[in-house]
Structure 1
Amino acid sequence: MEIQKIQALNDFIAYIKLEKNYASSTVLNYEKDLYYFFEFLKQEGVEDLERVAYLHARLYVTQLYDEQKARATISRKISAIRSFFRFLNKEYQLDDAAFQALYHPKKESRLPRFFYEEELTNLFERNEGDDVKSLRNIALLELLYATGIRVSELTSLTVKDVDLSLDIVRVMGKGRKERYVPFGHYAHEAIVRYINEVRTPLMNQPHSKLFVNMRGGELTSRGVRYILNEMLKKAEMHGVIYPHMLRHTFATHLLNNGADLRTVQELLGHSSLSSTQIYTHVTKEHLRNTYMNAHPRA
């Protein structure tokens, strides 16, 4: 039985979106990855999915390396195709051995970038103000740093997700896993002032999202990145800031100040402790640099 590629792809996308609850960004990337793979198969003269063999899998990965794709990108593309063929095996009894035998490339050993405490203090102080934009931006920055949530989690927050009596935010993470993250008095004060003085006056269309753009609409992930980079420029700090840097900073500062790894894992919403352990390398590097700069005989 010949399996129609596009129909099989559509069925797979519906499966990971509706049944597996994959994040929308993952669904989009997997769909792009599979279209890219279909183009490769076409160039190789393979029209039927039943004819895909281990040789094709190896040639495809070799092509990705030749194109100098990042290791993380190659790993994701392999995961996309493995999941797709696993689905085909389940639905159509298609042999999925070709890609299951592939190894993921080793991750590049790059430590997460984060802000030192004095850098973050400068970023906050240089962006303070009583105008609408400053109050909104400071509340956004305070909440990202106080909770370590992802940018997608931030833009999904509704007003009801923030409990200002207990100073806890309800977060819907990857795979629609719910968690509750506390925040401190700095974030509390910034959010209260933002809601009272900014959000309500800006609203010109009804919606429940916590953060709004300057037209009162829902703030997007791209909007958050733009805001953070404008704040970086205002603080006259060099480089580029991205929302995940604040997540890295949150985790690193907690560990530097004595928090245990399991607690940080739970706060970040990591399903595996190994994902959180990267921050122990960051803190060790921080300790080493501090020692080398401070010890007279280092």
Structure 2
Amino acid sequence: MNKTLRNFLGELPLAAELDYSLRQKNRARKDHYNLHRLEKSLPALAKVAAPFAASAPAGKKILFFATLHYWIEQSAVISLALAGLGHKVTLLTLPYSEWHKQMDRLTQRQRALHTRDALAGLDPLVEHASFLDLKPASVLPASLQADVEQVSLWDAQYTLMREEVDMRDASDRALYHLRLERNGFAARAALAWMQANKPDVALIPNGLILEMGIVFRVARHLGIPAVTYEFNDQREQIWLAQNSSIMQQDTDYLVEARCKLPMTD
């Protein structure tokens, strides 16, 4: 099935849902975007978390955002742990596997359906919603639009593995405009959701590039505290930052707190 036809079918009401239910739902996925391992594990994990959640004192209202299938796997498990501590967690996802490629609408819609099914085991401990099902804000404030443009340029540099993004080159320009489109949508969807739901805190992997960087910027624009995290290249190590992207490794607060202390032997 060619891409034009898949785009057409992706726009037809219920076409993606019907094809997914009849041909894909119970089959092994050949798509790179695959959450079947998570889908099998979540019921048992939720069963472990449930008694802790039932007896835990009420915690914070947490927005947890993730995109790309490996981050979604990880965020689902962390969401259950947070729910077990008494927090009210909403996991918002974008079912992308390739941040640098434009996928056809049928594939993208079916990835959203696969994500919905895979994360069904979170209910009722964690609420899940897809950005693709949200109604985005119609416009962005000028400061957030500037953020979208900056992060999109970083995305292009990250993907191309070079600082120069040549807008005269068709390939470079197409990549930049794809990132503008996706980051702009993520910003408008995140803005509308956060304004309506008012989370106490946002939890976001990376927090610097791609939609993760944009959702972080939206949270800070609204004055919502944000925690970003990333994993070290060494096992069982995690980096955390509050109200900054962990990828920037901001240590100014450590210098301010400790640079005046006397040195000892």
Larger Rg: 1
By percentage of residues, which structure has more helix? 1
TM over 0.5: no
With the length of structure 1 as denominator, give the TM-score of the two structures: 0.20
By percentage of residues, which structure has more strand? 2
